[in-house]
Structure 1
């Protein structure tokens, strides 16, 4: 099986074009105009986009790790996000432990579930057509959804926020929930930790060596199955962490896995398959675009008097519009590697 490096691409890998420069200037001008017109609303939406984008980063980061290492299109990744949220509900409401305990324990449990998936199913399809792995993980996703329905029911659930994070922080022009700021901090630290683990540790270097040439790495005594299993644990752990944070903020339901797996694939496609940096950049880009686009269009409609510009429900279409535009210009994504998985 052909495995490629997880190295991301630099910003210099994207060639600037006159059209791109003009588009950047126009978008920047609209953002400034929107801020001047409604500073409080703009900042509130920008923070909301940052928080949502960070959740997308966590989910897409785990997906990108698994896809980049193993070449497996893990359609069960969204179900792992959902499981992370529901395990948090179980730990807090049924067992009676605190959110802080759930924040640590729930991702570990999801990571172990990921190991079971990798050892029990996916190791047998590594050298098969990618469609086989996709169908296998799709079946696992359906199974997990029905297990959650049987164990926790089909209705929405929620957990109480810890007292330290339930208040709001005053930012001058607006206030923001402390839990949102906490989500951003946790997400940023997770991204930094993953980067340092893959790029700066001997374990990470051995994994990258095995990705480039597995036979040579195993000849040198590197146990690649153990390392791939560890990376699957890491990818699943991050998915579970995203589920904990999202579930604690807005609650959980059976549809959240399906919702986030679709958006995670959008993020990976926009950022470029095989690029961790691309997943981070694309997640934040889509999060901000989804939250700020309605504000910009509302401001533009007010300034021009063309009311139909404020399209209702446009935020739900934004991720897919961003993906279409990016893939039309760069079919590999913003930071994708040429020939990846070919």
Structure 2
């Protein structure tokens, strides 16, 4: 009913914010997907994931604004470089923590996150930054009652392809089967000849590269600052909790749910305030608390999340 009211009162604004929410949700899903792979498959609470996302954005700035190379070079190179940073972190810090209390991994990765943040500050400073996009990504395309920026369209296409590719890799290939086998019984998987450490490192690379790619896409649209790492990793954890630990599908659904909620909720309360004449209903900043309201509601109804498996990390 409230959605119908919003469409009737603010149709164009609702359409624009719905689209913005889908784009934002796909970026969140891309970050959360990498985090979910690492947490669900490796059992490590990787707080440094936010730092890798931030490195993606700042890495694109380095290549485009400081080195003068095309955006497409950054688009291809930065995720791979961030994935390599993730591999170094996995091999140098986290490999010995598999199977330990998740709190130990959380503390270790929090320390890595602080190191990444301070290294970013030392290299690029603490002020917000942006970089120029190629002409093909600076325009927009008309759709229905609104327009969509080309960079947003690129984000939708790329995020969708990555999400589908990740699902196919993990659930439709022998590689994904061996990863999940190693999670269930690492000793037995090793006994039958599966190189579990190498496969876990590959998963960490993929998850880190996803964070780097999300950073490039988000930095291209909104720019970057030092707060983005903490902000987005916090939202990524919320998405993993809402979707269910270890669920790829859950991370995507939760990311879209939260992304759309953040953008649409302010329009809905504004429409309600307009229709009723009660200005107090248009609560300022309500979009910022929507992710946590959704998480609270889901956990009260289904403590393991929408699609989580009971006892996965026990």
Tell me, yes or no, whether TM beats 0.5. Answer: yes
Are residues 1:245 and 2:241 paired? no
Q: d(CA) in 2 for partners of 1:242 and 1:55?
A: 6
Q: CA deviation at 1:309?
A: 0.9
Summarize deviations over 1:95-146 as a string: whole Å, max 9, x none.
Answer: 2211111111000000000000000000111132211111000000000000
Matches within 5 A, 1:93-242: 93-242=65-214
Please give the secondary structure, in 1, of the residue aligned with 2:148.
Answer: strand
The structure 2 residue matched to 1:267, chosen from 236, 239, 257, is: 239
Summarize deviations over 1:269-316 as a string: whole Å, max 9, x none.
Answer: 111111111100000000001111111111111112222111111111
Q: d(CA) in 2 for partners of 1:93 and 1:323?
A: 38
Q: CA deviation at 1:178?
A: 1.2
Give unpaired runs (5+ residues) of structure 2: none
Give the length in aligned residue pairs: 314
Compute the TM-score of the two structures, normalised by the length of structure 1.
0.90
Q: d(CA) in 2 for partners of 1:164 and 1:152?
A: 27
Compute the TM-score of the two structures, normalised by the length of structure 2.
0.98
Q: d(CA) in 2 for partners of 1:150 and 1:270?
A: 35
Q: d(CA) in 2 for partners of 1:305 and 1:86?
A: 45
Match of 2:30 in 1: 58
Summarize deviations over 1:168-221 as a string: whole Å, max 9, x none.
Answer: 111131122111111111111000010111111221221122122211211111
Are residues 1:33 and 2:10 paired? no
Partners of 2:58 and 2:224 within 8 A in 1: yes
Shifted more, 122-131 versus 224-233: the winner is 122-131
Shifted more, 166-175 versus 136-145: the winner is 166-175
Are residues 1:86 and 2:58 paired? yes
Q: d(CA) in 2 for partners of 1:234 and 1:294?
A: 35
The structure 2 residue matched to 1:296, chosen from 259, 262, 268, is: 268
Q: d(CA) in 2 for partners of 1:329 and 1:202?
A: 35
Give unpaired runs (5+ residues) of structure 1: 1-28
Are residues 1:77 and 2:49 paired? yes
Partners of 2:43 and 2:99 within 8 A in 1: no
Partners of 2:262 and 2:291 within 8 A in 1: yes
CA RMSD of aligned residues (A): 0.9
Q: d(CA) in 1 for partners of 2:277 and 2:127?
A: 43
Partners of 2:29 and 2:251 within 8 A in 1: yes
Moved over 3 A (4+): none
Q: d(CA) in 2 for partners of 1:40 and 1:176?
A: 12
Match of 1:317 in 2: 289
Match of 1:45 in 2: 17
Please give the secondary structure, in 1, of the residue aligned with 2:284.
Answer: coil
Q: CA deviation at 1:329?
A: 1.0
Please give the secondary structure, in 1, of the residue aligned with 2:141.
Answer: strand
Q: d(CA) in 2 for partners of 1:192 and 1:141?
A: 28
